Structure 1
Amino acid sequence: MYKNYIDSLIENKELPGAVLHAIKKKQTLCYKAVGSFIGGDAQNYPVTENTLFDVASLTKVVATLPASLLLYSQGDLHLEKQVQHYLPDFKHEKVKVEDLLTHRSGLPPDLPYVARDGQRDVMDLIYQTKLQQEPGIAVAYSDLGMILLGKIIEKIADQPLDFFTKEHIFTPWGLHNTGYKLPSSMKAITASTENFGNRYIQGEVHDEKALHMGGVSGSAGLFSTGKDIARFAKHFLYPEEQDVIPPDLMRMATRHKQNNRGLGFEVWNGEGNELSCGPNWSIGSFGHTGFTGTSVWIDPRSELIVVFLTNAVHYGRSTNIRTIRKKLHSMIYSSVRGETS
């Protein structure tokens, strides 16, 4: 049973803490908080259903994707236009906005590593970065493309990304515990991530690029709860039940385009390397993962949502989270199929 599996992960110290929120046809199957973490004050704290997590790259689909779709629906963002149209300092004239969302920009996955206590101009470095391949052809996951998209959103909206997403996406969608740059009161209930120097990082973004950008990025920087990520997922599973973004655009984002990618989301096409939901989920299932140990998966055919938030990097960056995700999601899917067959 998957609930026992979660407990065993904590007992065996494969994960420090986690929140699992599974929903089928709008009915909660499991809402479980387990484990604990060491805070920035070196004290031990239990993970609860209200614990916030640094969701890392879930930022790409929870913040940057819906913000892009909203601006697209208003006619302010054009997917077929060149990135240069919005950001003249970007030198690769063939890269289009849609290439950023589908990870076909040709940009490398990341910038060279710089520690948290270092300094750099992230945008200037991205503008100087050479393409690794011709844009618009092959899928190659890139943080840099989504960082660029975040800057495009800011330029169009004439507003910082954290303000824009809170006002136009999170608040109207009811994601009241989701946002960038946490206030002190919320940092205290946030699962700490990695030990750096003499303390655990708590309530500050784990991703170094996002940190060096002031905590706000199109690629990472967001904090959220299991309940909020589940609510986000419901909006994409039942897009006609929200009125922020036209439902047809939300469905467009979750359709397969190439190499198990849609717009922003990973989309299982039944071919190639299996995704983090495992091999058994329905073709057309979509989701995303985050480096800290977070994920969200949605199976439209089964009307199944699984949100799994952990701070796996608490024990260091060499985690077993990829194997854990596949096993957990496969167990949940088998359980659900068993209940309904």
Structure 2
Amino acid sequence: MKGPILPDGAERLGLSGTALQAAWALLDHAVAQQNIPGGVALVARNGYFATYAAGHAVMGNGVAIPASADTLYDCASLTKVVVTLPLILMLSDQGKLGLDDLVAAYVPEFGQSGKHAVTIRQLLSHTSGLAAHWDLYSHGWTPNEMFACICRMKPAHVPGTRCVYSCLGYIVLGRIAERLLGEPFAQAAERLLFRPLGMSASCFNPPCEWRPRIAATEYDPALGGFRWGRVHDENAHAFGGVSGNAGLFATADDLARYAQMWLVSANAGVEKGDTVAATMHAHTGQANALLSPSAVRQALSSHTPHIPGAHRGLGWVLKDDPADVTGNGLSRSSYGHTGFTGTSLWIDPERDLVVVLLTNRVHFGRDTSIAKLRHDIHQAVAAAIRD
């Protein structure tokens, strides 16, 4: 990306400056209504991006830290598509696994209790039959004991017959990535994704000295304070803060860099043999990431055509899936994902558009909904497009 612009330069994004201000005003309104303590919105287009921050990253217990463009947020389930998905696709590109391979080929202990026929593709597309969630964290188990519990589970329904969003499936995918890459999950993410893409603020388990830059999530009575720099997802925390389903902390800028890889690959990647070199122009120079054209096409195709109402790619939520939060403003080819803490990343290749929304909506309690805010911001950004 070429760099940030101010709303009065919105024409570089092919957007109306007035309409872009209206999108920012939605964030201000959500803060004023105390739906969220604060947040950061980013719109990227035509190689440029505009970022807006409102409210506070931390607000309570006598601490008030304003949100800024550089605030790190607990990305929650964005971890699934920003880290786990690309690592699995890279392994597929390298021939180290096949998407239709049995999970039990790589994790033999997973093949028990009626899960012997579950495939990598089914885990990625949430059609594996695994339950949506399970309390692994409250038993005092070690990470290996928690993983063994998943492997012992019976499917909640027949694999391949339903699309049920499952954190458990992505925990398994994270373990597969570790085994095949021969290194810890967080280390693989740093080496293969964050460093090549210039995602300099992205990490698992951010260091203590970064705390003033991090948005706090939910108040935890056991801590006597907010979860601040510690992953909100209980299972991910029990896995040491690093898991295939959650644990990523990142800024809006870093997520936009990651999204740009998908945009370039989908639109006009520079082919080198059987790979696509997706190049991002950033403040600090260039970074490259490699995904094959076939991997990109696979991820952005529907893998649930036989399941009524579902429209899921590999990892990604596709247009008109029940989890699509964009309304009718983005194109049929748009795709994205949300995170429980109040985050989302959406990409529209037809419009060369990326929209990042980062909030810590659970700061006021996990029952607070930002469904309308997500919808309205995507609608407002789409309405701002002028070229």
TM-score w.r.t. structure 1 length?
0.93
Partner of residue 5 from structure 1, selected from 2, 7, 26: 26
What is the deviation of 1:184? Answer: 1.4
Query: Does structure 1 residue 223 correspond to structure 2 residue 223?
Result: no
- Stretch moving more, 258-267 or 145-154: 258-267
Task: State how far apart, in whole Å, the 2-side matches of 1:124 and 1:318 are.
Answer: 31
Runs of at least 5 residues in structure 1 that lack an aligned partner in the other structure? none
SS in 1 for 2:57: strand
1:23 to 1:222, Cα distance in 2 relative to 1, 3 A? same
Query: Does structure 1 residue 44 correspond to structure 2 residue 91?
Result: no
What is the deviation of 1:38? Answer: 3.0
Count of aligned pairs: 333
Task: State how far apart, in whole Å, the 2-side matches of 1:265 and 1:199 are.
Answer: 34
Task: State how far apart, in whole Å, the 1-side matches of 2:330 and 2:172 are.
Answer: 32
Query: Does structure 1 residue 156 correspond to structure 2 residue 176?
Result: no
Identity %: 35
What is the deviation of 1:274? Answer: 6.5
What is residue 274 of structure 2 aligned with on the other side? none
The within-5 A match list for 1:119-138 is 119-120=140-141, 121-138=145-162
Residues 263-312 of structure 1 show CA distances to partners (whole Å, capped at 9, x for unaligned) of 111111x4x64711123321111100000000000011111110001100
Q: Which of the pair has more CA radius of gyration?
A: 2
Query: Does structure 1 residue 93 correspond to structure 2 residue 116?
Result: yes
Query: Does structure 1 residue 244 correspond to structure 2 residue 270?
Result: no
Query: Does structure 1 residue 78 correspond to structure 2 residue 98?
Result: yes
What is residue 68 of structure 1 aligned with on the other side? 88
Task: State how far apart, in whole Å, the 2-side matches of 1:274 and 1:79 are.
Answer: 23
SS in 2 for 1:298: strand
What is the deviation of 1:119? Answer: 2.4
Query: Does structure 1 residue 104 correspond to structure 2 residue 127?
Result: yes
Partner of residue 312 from structure 1, selected from 338, 355, 361: 361
What is the deviation of 1:114? Answer: 4.9
What is residue 228 of structure 2 aligned with on the other side? 202
Runs of at least 5 residues in structure 2 that lack an aligned partner in the other structure? 1-21, 270-277, 279-287, 305-309
- Which amino acid in 2 is paired with 1:159? E
What is the deviation of 1:123? Answer: 0.8
More strand by share: 2
Residues 11-56 of structure 1 show CA distances to partners (whole Å, capped at 9, x for unaligned) of 111111111000122232x310111133797411111111100000
- Which amino acid in 2 is paired with 1:267? L
What is residue 55 of structure 1 aligned with on the other side? 75
- Which amino acid in 2 is paired with 1:183? P
Query: Does structure 1 residue 266 correspond to structure 2 residue 317?
Result: yes
TM-score w.r.t. structure 2 length?
0.82
Task: State how far apart, in whole Å, the 1-side matches of 2:86 and 2:302 are.
Answer: 17
The within-5 A match list for 1:8-27 is 8-27=29-48
